[in-house]
Amino acid sequence: MVKMDLLQEAKRRFCAELNLEDLNCEVVVSLPLSPRDAIGDPGRDDFPILRGREVLMQAVYKGAAGQAFTSAKGSFRGTLRDALSMPLAGSFERAVLVSTINATLRYRGLIDKTVHCKDEGPKRCADRMASWIAEQHADAVGLIGMQPALLEALVRSLGPEKVMVSDLAEAGSARCGVKVLDGMDSSDIFERCQLILITGSTIVNGTIGDLLEMASRHRRRVVFFGTTIAGVAYLLGMERWCPSST
């Protein structure tokens, strides 16, 4: 049995909501935003985008903006039909589609919070995470994808012994007293943690399917964080948490 690509399914549902007029409208996906344009000055330098490990792509549809984190670079300009005609073989094409879905659904008023928070936003997000996580009553929480402010908030709320984190780029290091596991194998997190927080960029890099399969196998609750997955979460009925974005 061939595993379904969740982005392909989201694309199918997205197309079902469109009409001919929508398809002929222009979509502009800019070159990756500079770190300052993307997140401003968050008061710390350990975010992946500030270390050059990822970029933020932004699409604009009828004046509405939607974003997607990716490791790919490039730009696109064409109709919505052109964007939907691109193959989804690589991270660039997937990021174009994801950011375009976010911008289009934002324009239509179906989703919000599609633009990353800036400056004090990440700190506010972390402060809200500390109180939100306490309300979830989870014995252990996993974080898949390094978001340093959220990791600090989790450790502050639960203690390092109740937090697990995985990230490909930082595997083997220690952050906030927690060893960073290999991002290519997060099975231990699903075995031990009742609640799993997953970066929305997994819809772009294509790892989301395996992660949700593990969550289903272990009967774990998954909450996606960030702006990237805004539109896909709406289309597929996924739980998302991103309080400080706009």
Domain boundary among 63, 85, 107: 107
Q: Note whether 138 and 92 are same-domain residues.
A: no
Mean of pLDDT over the chain: 91
Task: Indicate the number of domains in the chain.
Answer: 2
Q: Note whether 59 and 137 are same-domain residues.
A: no
Residue type, 96: V
Residue % of the chain over a pLDDT of 90: 69
Burial (0-12, 13-18, 19+ Cβ within 10 Å), 173: exposed
Per residue in 172-228, pLDDT (tens digit) is 899 999 999 988 888 999 999 999 999 999 999 999 999 999 999 999 999 999 999
Q: Note whether 169 and 74 are same-domain residues.
A: no
Residue 86 lies in a domain: yes
Q: Note whether 63 and 166 are same-domain residues.
A: no
Q: Which of 53, 2, 8, 1 is closest to 206 using CA atoms? A: 8
Q: What is the structure's pLDDT at 4?
A: 61
Per residue in 27-42, pLDDT (tens digit) is 999 888 888 888 888 7
Per residue in 179-189, pLDDT (tens digit) is 999 888 889 99
Q: Note whether 142 and 221 are same-domain residues.
A: yes
Q: What is the structure's pLDDT at 227?
A: 96
Burial (0-12, 13-18, 19+ Cβ within 10 Å), 139: exposed
Q: Note whether 141 and 206 are same-domain residues.
A: yes
Per residue in 13-25, pLDDT (tens digit) is 999 999 888 999 9
Q: Given pLDDT bands bounded at 50, 70 and 90, which one contains residue 92?
A: very high
Domain boundary among 107, 133, 149: 107
Q: Given pLDDT bands bounded at 50, 70 and 90, which one contains residue 2?
A: very low
Q: What is the structure's pLDDT at 1?
A: 32
Q: Note whether 85 and 176 are same-domain residues.
A: no
Q: Note whether 178 and 223 are same-domain residues.
A: yes
Per residue in 101-124, pLDDT (tens digit) is 999 999 999 999 999 988 888 889
Q: What is the structure's pLDDT at 32?
A: 85
Q: What is the structure's pLDDT at 213?
A: 95
Domain boundary among 107, 138, 171: 107
Q: Note whether 93 and 199 are same-domain residues.
A: no
Range name among 63-67, 93-97, 169-173 with the lowest pLDDT average: 169-173
Q: Note whether 127 and 210 are same-domain residues.
A: yes
Q: Note whether 161 and 75 are same-domain residues.
A: no
Residue 112 lies in a domain: no
Residue 215 lies in a domain: yes
Q: Note whether 81 and 39 are same-domain residues.
A: yes
Range(s) of the domain holding residue 95:
6-107
38 or 230, higher pLDDT? 230
Residue 116 lies in a domain: no
Residue 114 lies in a domain: no
